[in-house]
Chain A
Amino acid sequence: MTEAALIAAARQGSHRAFTGLVSLHQARVRGYIARFVSERDRVDDIAQEVFLAAFRGFPRFSGDVPVEAWLVGIARNQALVHLRSERRRREAVNGALGDALTAWRIEMLDAEIERGEDRSRDVDALGQCLGTLASDQRSLVEDHYLRRHSSAMLARQLGRGEGAVRMMLLRIRQTLRACIERRLRGEATS
C-alpha cells in the first residue's frame, strides 16, 4: 500500500492504516522531539502524544500539505508545550543547568520557527552523515549510542582517559552537526 493509499484508508477510520503511517514517520517525529528532550522515555511519551493527537485530528487533516509536514507541526507544538511546562516546574530534577538548558532550547526552537526552518529532516541528514564518518569514529558512535557503553567503559577499551573519550564524542557530534547543516542548506538551495 502506498502512503497515499494509507492516507485514504486512515481517513476512512482504519486504525491499521494509520499505524502504517506511524511506522513510516515515527523516526522523523521522534528524532525531531529528541532534539529538545534529553530523557529517552519522555521523547517516546511526547511522540506518542503527537500521534494520538494526529489520529484524533485526522478527519480534519485537509491534505493540502504532506502528512509529514502536518505531523511535524504537531510535534513542534508538543515540544514547545513540554519545554514550557518544564520551565514552569520550579524544582526541576535536572537542577540549575537543566533549567537553563530548557530556556535555551526554547530560544533555539523559537529561532527555528521564526526562520521558518524545517528541522524534521535532520534525522535523515544525520543518517547520511553517519555514513561519511571514519570507521573508528563510527564504531565509537555505535558503541556509545547504540550499545550504550559509557565513556568510562570506552575509555578502558581504548586505553584513553574518560575526558578524552567525551571530547572525541563531542568532536564527532560537531562534525555531524556541520554535515547536517551542509546537507540541509544544499537541499534548500537546490
Chain B
Amino acid sequence: MTRENLTEWWARHLDGQRLTTEDEASLIAGLRADAALRAALVADAAVDGLLRVVTAPPQEQRAFVSGVSAFIAAQADGAEFSRRVRERLVQSRRRRVPRRRATPAVVHWCAAAMLVLTAGAVAWSLAPRTGSALPSVAVLDHRSGAVHLERTAVAIAVLDGTAVVAGDRIVIGDGAVTLRYPGDGTAIVLGPDTEVEVGQSASGVGKLLRLERGALIADVAPQPAGRPLQIRTAEGVATVVGTRFTLERGRSATVLAVTTGRVRLADPAERGILVEAGRTARADADGIHLVPEPPAVPAAVAPAIPEVLPVAPPAAPEPPVEVVTADPPSPLPPPPVAKPAEPTAADFLAREYTTPAGTTPYRLFVPRDQVAGKRYPLVLFLHGSGERGTDNAAPIKRQAAGSMVFISAANQATNPCFMLVPQCAHGTWTDAVMRQHIAGIIAELRTSYAIDAERIIITGYSLGGGGTWDQLAQNPTLYAAAVPIAGWGMGNFASFSSVPLWTFHAADDPTVKVAGTRAAVAALRTVGGDPIYTEYATGGHASGGPAYRTPGLVEWAMAQRRGVPRVGGPRLDITPLTAAARASTAQRIALSGTATADAGITAVTWTVGTEEGACVGTSEWSAKNLPLLPGPNLLRILATGTSWSASNGGSTSFSASLTVNRPPAPLKRR
C-alpha cells in the first residue's frame, strides 16, 4: 500500500465516490500510520471546503444573508412581539379560546423557534404519546411557551410528543413548536402567534396544512412524486416537493422565502410561479409576484436588505444601510488575463426537463432586477449539431454561436429578457421528442417565471436554424419573431408567413447549402410573407457570429410582438392605394412608398407574377405600369441593401407586398 494508493483513494472519497470496505479500512490504517500524509490530506479537505464557499454563486451568498436577516429581524422584533402576545393572551383568557382574528403582519420568531430550526438534523423520538382514534399524521415536539391543540372544539395542552391527527388546529401563543412527520423527517417550525390547521391528504396532495396566520419555517424532505406537501393560506398555495423555506401569513398577504430548492406559490385559482432558492415571493390581493432580488453581496455599496418578513410599524424608521469598505472581498478574483465582459455559463441556471420519452438538459438565463408585475421576453436558442449531447455545457460555449448577445449587459440594460438554451441529446430538433420537450419547457417556464407570452423569440444556428424553421411550422402562433441562421428552411410556409422573420446564410456555406434558405425565403414571399434575408457572399458555415453582430438585429427582435406585423428594422412601406385606384379596372397600376434601413439601400425592384422591373429611387421609390390581371394580384416590392458585414460581403433584402383585386371589366350593354 503506497502513498499513491492512499492519495488516490482519498481523492475518490473527497469526490463523493464510495470506496470498498477494504479500501476504506486500508486508507484509515494507512493515514493513521503516516501523520505527515494525514495532515496533508486533512488540510486538502480544508482547501476543498474553502473552494466550495469561495466559488459559490452570488445568489447562494444572498440567500444566506437573507436567511440570517429574516431571523435577526425576528429577534429584533422579539421584545415588542412578546408584549403583544402577552396582551393577546390576557384577552384570550377572558374568552377561553384565543381570538382568531388576523393579527397584523408583524409575526416573527422568538429565539426558541430559531434554535429548533438550526437543530433540524438532531435525532428525535417518534413515539407519539397521545392516543387517538384517528391515525396520527405528525408529532409535535420542541415545544416552548404557550401551545395548544384544538380537536373537535376541545383544547388540548401540547407536550413534546403529542400526536396530531387530521383536522387538528395548532394554536401557538407566546411560544413555538415543531411539527414533525415521522415518515420522512420533514420538520415544520411553527412560530409565535401562529395558527395552523392540519389537513387531510387528498388525491394529488400529500401533507396538507392551512396557515391561518403567523409564520412557519419548513424543512421538507423529498416528497413522493405526485404527492407534494401543500401549505394553503387565504391568498395562496405553496406546493413543495422537498426544500427549505419560510412562509408567513400577514394581515392581507402571504410571504414565502425559499432557502434551498424550489417552491411553487400559486393563488387560489392555481395561477402561480416557481420560487427559486434565495428568492422571496408574495401572494396578496393583486396575485402572486416575486419580490425583487437584493443587489449582489458583498459589494462596495451595501445590500438593500430585503424585508423577508415584514417588520412591525417601526418606532423610528431606519435610514437605508450603506456599507463602504476599502477592500470588498470578492467571490472570485478576476482571472489573470482580462476578458471582455461577456456573459458566461455562470450566468445560466442548469436544469433538466424529463418526460417518459427522455431527458432534455437546458440552460436558463433569468434577467436581474425584475420589476414585480412586469413580464419579460424569452429568447429561445437552438444549437447546431456539434453541441448535441447531455453535458448541458456545449450549447453555451463560444457565446452560443453568438446568440448570447441577447443577454449581454448592454442588451439587458435596455431589453431585459430570459434566454433558454435546450440541448438536443441526439438526432435533430425535428424529432417528436424534441418538439414535445421544447413546448413542455416553454410551458413550464411560463408558469414559473414572469415571461411575456407575447414576446417569445426563437433563433437557432445550423441544425438549430433548421429547428427554428420547424418550430415556426409546428407552432405558427407561439413566436413573436424568428431568426434562423444557416439552417435548412422547411415547413408549411403559408402557416407562419405573418411571423416577423430575419434569416441569414452565406452563399458559400459548404455544410448547409444556401439553397434551403433561398427556397424558404422565396416560398414565404410567394405566400405573402415579408422576411428579411441577409445573404453573405462568403464566410462559409460560420455565419452565426456576423449574423448576431448585425446592428439593430437584437433590438428588432425584441420589438416584435406575437400576432402583430413586424415593426422596426429594415422595412419597406407601400403607400396605400386610393379608393379610386383600388376600384380601377385598368390593366396597369402605379405604386410608391419608402424603404428604411440603417445603411444605404442599393436597389428597389418590383415583382408581379412572373414579371419584374426596377423602381425609381430607393428610400423613396415609385414604380409605374405594374401589370394587373383580373382577380387578385400579389404585388411585391423588394429592397436590397448592405449585409452589415464588411468581411463577408453580400446583401440584405426585405420586402412588402400588396394584394390588388382587379375588378372584372364591366360588361358592355347592348
| A-to-B contact residues, CB < 8 Å | 1-3, 6, 9, 13-20, 22-24, 26-28, 30-31, 34-38, 40-45, 47-49, 51-52, 55-56, 95-97, 100-101, 104-105, 107-108, 122-124, 126-128, 130-132, 135, 138, 141-142, 145-147, 149-151, 153, 156-157, 163, 166-167, 169-170, 173-174, 176-177, 180
Residue of B nearest to A99 (CB): B28
The reply to whether B8 and A127 contact each other, CB–CB distance below 8 Å, is: no
Residue B112 lies at the interface, judged by CB distance under 8 Å to chain A: no
The reply to whether B345 and A147 contact each other, CB–CB distance below 8 Å, is: yes
Q: A173–B345 Cα gap in the complex (Å)?
A: 23
A100-B298 CB under 8 A given contacts A6-B323, A26-B65 = no
**How distant is B20 from chain A, measured CB to nearest CB, in Å?**
12
A163-B323 CB under 8 A given contacts A15-B69, A174-B44 = no
The reply to whether B330 and A135 contact each other, CB–CB distance below 8 Å, is: no
**How distant is B427 from chain A, measured CB to nearest CB, in Å?**
20
The reply to whether B391 and A127 contact each other, CB–CB distance below 8 Å, is: no
19 of the cross-chain contacts (CB-CB < 8 Å) are A1-B322, A2-B323, A19-B69, A23-B298, A24-B323, A26-B65, A27-B331, A31-B50, A34-B49, A41-B260, A52-B75, A104-B38, A130-B54, A130-B333, A135-B336, A146-B55, A153-B391, A156-B391, A176-B51
**How distant is A148 from chain B, measured CB to nearest CB, in Å?**
8
Which of A15, A26, A176 lies in contact with B64, CB distance below 8 A?
A26
The reply to whether A44 and B64 contact each other, CB–CB distance below 8 Å, is: yes
Q: A54–B64 Cα gap in the complex (Å)?
A: 16
Contacts of A180 in B (CB 8 A): 47
Given contacts A127-B332, A142-B332, 6 further A-B contacts (CB under 8 A): A15-B73, A17-B321, A27-B331, A97-B27, A104-B31, A149-B393
The reply to whether A35 and B50 contact each other, CB–CB distance below 8 Å, is: yes
Residue B146 lies at the interface, judged by CB distance under 8 Å to chain A: no
**How distant is B361 from chain A, measured CB to nearest CB, in Å?**
11
Q: A17–B47 Cα gap in the complex (Å)?
A: 31
| Residue picked from B69, B114, B324, most chain A C-beta under 10 Å | B69
The segment from B9-17, B454-462, B577-585, B609-617 that touches chain A is B9-17
The reply to whether A14 and B44 contact each other, CB–CB distance below 8 Å, is: no
Contacts of A151 in B (CB 8 A): 15
The reply to whether A104 and B42 contact each other, CB–CB distance below 8 Å, is: yes
Contacts of A124 in B (CB 8 A): 329
Interface residue total, chain B, C-beta cutoff 8 A:
76
Contacts of A153 in B (CB 8 A): 391
- Bitwise, B330-368 to A at CB < 8 A (1) or not (0) is 111111110000000110001000000000000000000
Contacts of B11 in A (CB 8 A): 163, 166-167, 169-170
The reply to whether B24 and A1 contact each other, CB–CB distance below 8 Å, is: no
Contacts of A146 in B (CB 8 A): 55-57, 332, 346
**How distant is B313 from chain A, measured CB to nearest CB, in Å?**
15
A145-B49 CB under 8 A given contacts A23-B323, A170-B11 = no
Residue B155 lies at the interface, judged by CB distance under 8 Å to chain A: no
| B-to-A contact residues, CB < 8 Å | 7-8, 10-15, 19, 24-25, 27-28, 31-32, 38-40, 42-57, 61, 64-65, 67-69, 71-73, 75-76, 111, 114, 118, 120-121, 260, 297-298, 302-303, 305, 318, 321-325, 329-337, 345-346, 350, 391, 393
Contacts of B67 in A (CB 8 A): 44, 48
- Total A-B residue pairs with C-beta atoms closer than 8 Å? 228
A52-B71 CB under 8 A given contacts A34-B52, A101-B42, A167-B8 = yes
A177-B54 CB under 8 A given contacts A48-B118, A138-B335 = no
Q: A30–B49 Cα gap in the complex (Å)?
A: 9
| Residue picked from B32, B322, B323, B325, most chain A C-beta under 10 Å | B323
Q: A38–B44 Cα gap in the complex (Å)?
A: 12
The reply to whether B51 and A141 contact each other, CB–CB distance below 8 Å, is: yes
A157-B332 CB under 8 A given contacts A37-B49, A126-B51, A173-B44 = no
Residue of A nearest to B24 (CB): A97
Q: A170–B48 Cα gap in the complex (Å)?
A: 9
The reply to whether B64 and A170 contact each other, CB–CB distance below 8 Å, is: no
* Shortest beta-carbon contacts, A-B, top 9: A34-B49, A15-B76, A35-B46, A166-B11, A146-B55, A131-B333, A145-B55, A1-B322, A19-B69
**How distant is A130 from chain B, measured CB to nearest CB, in Å?**
6
Residue of A nearest to B73 (CB): A15
The reply to whether B121 and A42 contact each other, CB–CB distance below 8 Å, is: yes
Contacts of B32 in A (CB 8 A): 100
| Residue picked from A138, A153, A170, most chain B C-beta under 10 Å | A170
Q: A83–B311 Cα gap in the complex (Å)?
A: 36
Which of B14, B27, B72, B393 lies in contact with A55, CB distance below 8 A?
B72
Residue of A nearest to B67 (CB): A48
Q: A130–B571 Cα gap in the complex (Å)?
A: 51
Q: A124–B298 Cα gap in the complex (Å)?
A: 13
The reply to whether A56 and B75 contact each other, CB–CB distance below 8 Å, is: yes
Which of B24, B40, B121, B334 lies in contact with A131, CB distance below 8 A?
B334
| Residue picked from B46, B331, B393, most chain A C-beta under 10 Å | B46
Q: A176–B305 Cα gap in the complex (Å)?
A: 34
**How distant is B661 from chain A, measured CB to nearest CB, in Å?**
60
Which of B68, B120, B322, B393 lies in contact with A22, CB distance below 8 A?
B68
Which of B25, B302, B336, B350 lies in contact with A1, CB distance below 8 A?
B302
The reply to whether A26 and B49 contact each other, CB–CB distance below 8 Å, is: no
**How distant is B104 from chain A, measured CB to nearest CB, in Å?**
18
A38-B336 CB under 8 A given contacts A15-B72, A48-B71, A153-B391 = no
The reply to whether A141 and B321 contact each other, CB–CB distance below 8 Å, is: no
Q: A47–B42 Cα gap in the complex (Å)?
A: 21
**How distant is A99 from chain B, measured CB to nearest CB, in Å?**
9
The reply to whether B52 and A145 contact each other, CB–CB distance below 8 Å, is: yes
**How distant is B47 from chain A, measured CB to nearest CB, in Å?**
5
The reply to whether B31 and A100 contact each other, CB–CB distance below 8 Å, is: yes
Contacts of B111 in A (CB 8 A): 56
The reply to whether A19 and B321 contact each other, CB–CB distance below 8 Å, is: yes
Q: A176–B48 Cα gap in the complex (Å)?
A: 10
Contacts of A41 in B (CB 8 A): 260
Contacts of B65 in A (CB 8 A): 19, 22-23, 26
The reply to whether A16 and B318 contact each other, CB–CB distance below 8 Å, is: yes
Q: A20–B24 Cα gap in the complex (Å)?
A: 44
The reply to whether B47 and A176 contact each other, CB–CB distance below 8 Å, is: yes
The reply to whether B303 and A20 contact each other, CB–CB distance below 8 Å, is: yes
Q: A124–B260 Cα gap in the complex (Å)?
A: 26
Contacts of A16 in B (CB 8 A): 69, 305, 318, 321
The reply to whether B68 and A51 contact each other, CB–CB distance below 8 Å, is: yes
Contacts of A141 in B (CB 8 A): 51, 55
Contacts of A131 in B (CB 8 A): 333-336
The reply to whether A108 and B42 contact each other, CB–CB distance below 8 Å, is: yes
Residue of B nearest to A37 (CB): B49
The reply to whether A177 and B329 contact each other, CB–CB distance below 8 Å, is: no
The reply to whether A95 and B321 contact each other, CB–CB distance below 8 Å, is: no
The reply to whether B322 and A127 contact each other, CB–CB distance below 8 Å, is: no
**How distant is A134 from chain B, measured CB to nearest CB, in Å?**
9
Residue of B nearest to A144 (CB): B51
| Residue picked from A27, A126, A135, most chain B C-beta under 10 Å | A27
Residue of A nearest to B306 (CB): A19
Q: A169–B15 Cα gap in the complex (Å)?
A: 10
Q: A9–B334 Cα gap in the complex (Å)?
A: 33
**How distant is B420 from chain A, measured CB to nearest CB, in Å?**
18
Contacts of B40 in A (CB 8 A): 174
Contacts of A13 in B (CB 8 A): 76
Residue of A nearest to B72 (CB): A15
